């Protein structure tokens, strides 16, 4: 499964802070206005948003994403070593 990354700016929305959802995520996951999503977060800066409510399924998908991130890190390291 491909892993994508992007950055989002935190904006003020009324008295709250908000971020937009990437358009590709919205399109592929068919997210619609008013729909509820699961939000899982830790106090050390990690936030996960999912349309999936089942925590075991989310865990399995997160492990797959982590593997994809690790591959990207290895590829970047290999490209850096080749340039040296």
The full set of domain ranges for the chain reads: 11-83
- pLDDT, mean of residues 47-68: 90
- Pick from 2-6, 49-53, 62-66, 67-71: least confident: 2-6
Closest to 3 in 3D by CA, of 25, 32, 19, 18: 25
- 44 vs 76 pLDDT, higher one: 44
pLDDT for 27: 93
Q: Where are the beta strands (DSSP E) in the chain?
A: 11-13, 16-18, 38-41, 47-50
What tokens appear for 27 in the block? 């399109």
pLDDT for 52: 87
Residue 66, helix vs strand vs coil: helix
Residue 37 to residue 34: CA distance in whole angstroms: 10
Q: What pLDDT, in 10s, does the model give residues 4-54?
A: 889 999 999 999 999 999 999 999 989 999 999 888 899 998 888 888 888
Q: Residues of 65-84 as b/e, b for ≥16 C-beta within 10 angstroms?
A: eeeeeeeeeeeeeeeeeeee
């Amino acid at each position: 499964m491909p892993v994508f990354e992007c950055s989002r700016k935190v904006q003020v929305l009324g008295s709250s802070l908000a971020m937009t959802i990437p358009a590709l995520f919205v399109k592929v996951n068919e997210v619609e206005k008013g729909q509820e999503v699961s939000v899982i977060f830790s106090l050390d800066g990690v936030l996960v948003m999912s349309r999936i409510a089942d925590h075991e399924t989310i865990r399995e998908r997160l492990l797959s994403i982590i593997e994809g991130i690790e591959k990207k890190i290895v590829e970047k390291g290999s490209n850096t070593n080749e340039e040296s």
